[in-house]
Amino acid sequence: MNILQELQARFRAALVGLSDASDADLDLIRPAQDPKFGDYQANLAMPLGKRLGRPPRDVAAEILGRLDAADLCHPPEVAGPGFINLRLKDDYFIPHLQAAVGDQRLGVAPVEKPRTFVIDYSAPNVAKPMHVGHIRSTVIGDALCRTLRFLGHRVISDNHIGDWGTQFGMILYGYKHFLDAAAYKNNPVAELARLYRLVSLVMEYYGILDNLPVLEKEIQKQQKILEKLKLEDQNNKKIIEKIKEQDDKVKELRSTWVFDNATRIWLENGSTTPDISKLIPEHKEIRSDVLAETAKLHAGDPENRKLWQEFLPACEDEINRIYGRLGIRFDHTLGESFYEDRLAGVVEELVNKGIARESDGALCIFFPGEKVPMLIRKQDGAFLYATTDLATIRYRMEQFHPDAILYVVDHRQSMHFKHLFEAARLWGYGDVELQHVSFGTVLGEDNRPFKTRSGDTVGLESLLDEAVLRAGEIVSANDDAKPDGPELPPERRREIAEIVGIGALKYADLSQNRTSDYVFSYDKMLAMNGNTATYMQYAYARVRSIFAKGNVDAAELRRSGAEIVLPTPAERALALEILRFPEALDRAAADYRPHQLTAYLFDLANRYSTFFENCPVLRAETDALRRSRLLLCDLTARTIGKGLELLGIKVVEKM
């Protein structure tokens, strides 16, 4: 049962007589910020009044004259400029709460019109180890799958892994030039990862070398501007400011990663085997050679195919191990290679239909009013990332008949998806919702993309290990501090640490509005107070401990027919918050933003705290009140548990 939806339906009916009113106005019906103003507030009279050229209070009065909601709320009041304050009747909503007690779905009705979603997420390039950049796509995509599924939609998850791109050309090159055969035999994944890093370092070196003259020039140019500024009036505040800005600019340029990495590579000696600085002169053509290895693989060269077939299972084992730890599974893992033999056909069709055409020897799709086309075949005949994505759309449409395809991919690919979706429309896929569920970057505490001290990307595995390690310390310290002595054996502590550590990592990500960047911090994500998984898991475990302490069987209580009563404001506020779970899920699903759900869980946990401080549970004045409060506790815990489950986070009964 969704109270907000019910209120909106009543207002929709009341708005019918008003010209100019639309469903968008109904978005202005919201939970009230302050209980003084009731439980919900309808703020639609102000914009409506403005559009109609009438005093908002009049408009509000007219709406109320037609509003038929006497079964839901007490007579509404108009406040201030035209706010409509709505106070729900207890005997309207308590039965819904009572119904949630015995309901597995906690009163969340499945959607009336289920849709079919294909969700494309995680999708690492598997030739290299997963790193911090993959956490967001993986975790957000998984939360969306779970939430949409719970709401009653049909969801197909598909991990579109990069198993066919240049990365494989890189490890092929590495394998042929730098292989440590014994290491490969011993641990293929680790050796392939080393080869990948080595090759990318050497390639990066030559990339930097190409770039240096450009950078040098730019620095000289900016330095000249700085010198000139210094000749101007040094007492002028504006000039002083400008000098400072310019100085920062020059410093910034000088310290770009380009310089850092170049010097790092040059200075590196003996620390890596084989010695990179000695390697470098022997691999001048590495970048084109790597491309040639990739091209040979794509052209069906037997040696490269054989090696690729040998590498792939090892790479897949590696990512599957991490997915196992994260509790993530996919319905399909159809990587780029799966589409290889369909690409030529797709390109041919696009050309025949006049959607793609030749330009400088390449095949491109041009878009009305846009200069940059989308490349689908290069001059040398190679297909591109975009070509594969087009073939993938066709396959998914034919195979799954989705109403929507969601791509959970970082914001740097927004141009790619804009073009891809436009091309798909031109191609005839006009009905399906194609959505780039984009997200920002994970930053370090220095506000720059999160890197290790030596400047490398942070491996996902080490991230998990560190989070679990720190969670372990917290779990142990807490258990040791329990008034009646510790109650968790070491093995249980380890299991809990894994759940708490990984939960913290996921929640820290999901609780951010996905489109913003966020700063990664172990301390913050594991904080026991605040909007964290740890706080939520604690809230859950604390409720459970009440049942343990009072020797109450929750399942029996639910079946007992005990009644919920709400004599105090804190109880009433908690009850209403519990009933808002469906609203939060709708908000999270509407715009594919899991942080709407975490924000709700945080509110719920806070209302619960207030309730718990004000209302004795096990020692309530009467048995009826005790049972009512226990039911509220139970509903709170179940809602938190369910909410976390939909985010892919586990709870524990004891912490």
Q: What gap in Å lies between CA 93 and CA 73, rounded to an integer?
A: 10
* Among residues 39, 318, 389, 479, the one that binds ligand ARG under rule CB under 6 A: 389
Smaller CB separation from ligand ARG, 125 or 333: 125
* Among residues 2, 8, 85, 125, the one that binds ligand ARG under rule CB under 6 A: 125
DSSP codes, 415-459: HHHHHHHHHHHHHT--SSEEEEEEE--EE-TTSSB-B-TTSPBPB
- For residue 335, the minimal CB distance to ligand ARG (Å) is 9
* Among residues 128, 131, 160, 580, the one that binds ligand ARG under rule CB under 6 A: 160
Q: What gap in Å lies between CA 603 and CA 110, rounded to an integer?
A: 23
Smaller CB separation from ligand ARG, 178 or 338: 338
CB 115 within 8 A of CB 155: no
- By CB under 6 A, tell whether 163 contacts ligand ARG: no
- By CB under 6 A, tell whether 123 contacts ligand ARG: yes
- For residue 407, the minimal CB distance to ligand ARG (Å) is 5
- β-bridge mates for residue 155, sequence order: 117
Taking contact as CB under 6 A, which single stretch among the options 59-67, 117-125, 220-228, 310-318 is the one that binds ligand ARG? Answer: 117-125
Smaller CB separation from ligand ARG, 336 or 571: 336
Q: What gap in Å lies between CA 144 and CA 647, rounded to an integer?
A: 8
Smaller CB separation from ligand ARG, 264 or 411: 411
- Footprint of ligand ARG on 398-457 (CB under 6 A): 407, 409
Q: What gap in Å lies between CA 261 and CA 456, rounded to an integer?
A: 10
579-604: b (≥16 Cβ within 10 Å) or e: bbbbbbbbbbbeebbbbbbbbbbbeb
- By CB under 6 A, tell whether 162 contacts ligand ARG: yes
- For residue 279, the minimal CB distance to ligand ARG (Å) is 27
Total chain residues near ligand ARG (CB under 6 A): 10
Q: What gap in Å lies between CA 503 and CA 525, rounded to an integer?
A: 9
Smaller CB separation from ligand ARG, 293 or 389: 389
- Footprint of ligand ARG on 506-535 (CB under 6 A): none
- By CB under 6 A, tell whether 142 contacts ligand ARG: no
Smaller CB separation from ligand ARG, 160 or 626: 160
- For residue 122, the minimal CB distance to ligand ARG (Å) is 9
- For residue 596, the minimal CB distance to ligand ARG (Å) is 24
- By CB under 6 A, tell whether 628 contacts ligand ARG: no
Q: What gap in Å lies between CA 90 and CA 79, rounded to an integer?
A: 22
* Among residues 25, 62, 120, 318, the one that binds ligand ARG under rule CB under 6 A: 120
- For residue 202, the minimal CB distance to ligand ARG (Å) is 21
Smaller CB separation from ligand ARG, 28 or 322: 322
Long-range contacts (CB closer than 8 Å, 24 or more residues apart) made by 246-250: 246/222, 249/222, 250/219, 250/222, 250/223, 250/226
Q: Which of 140, 135, 100 is closest to 120 using CA atoms?
A: 140
Distance in Å from the first CA to the final CA of the chain = 32
Work out the angle between the directed axes of helices 302-326 and 133-150 (0-180°, nearest 10).
Answer: 60
Q: How crowded is the C-beta side of 65, counted as CA atoms within 13 Å?
A: 9
Smaller CB separation from ligand ARG, 18 or 127: 127
For 411, the enclosing helix (H) or strand (E) is none
Q: Which residues bind ligand ARG (CB under 6 A)?
A: 120, 123-125, 160, 162, 389, 392, 407, 409
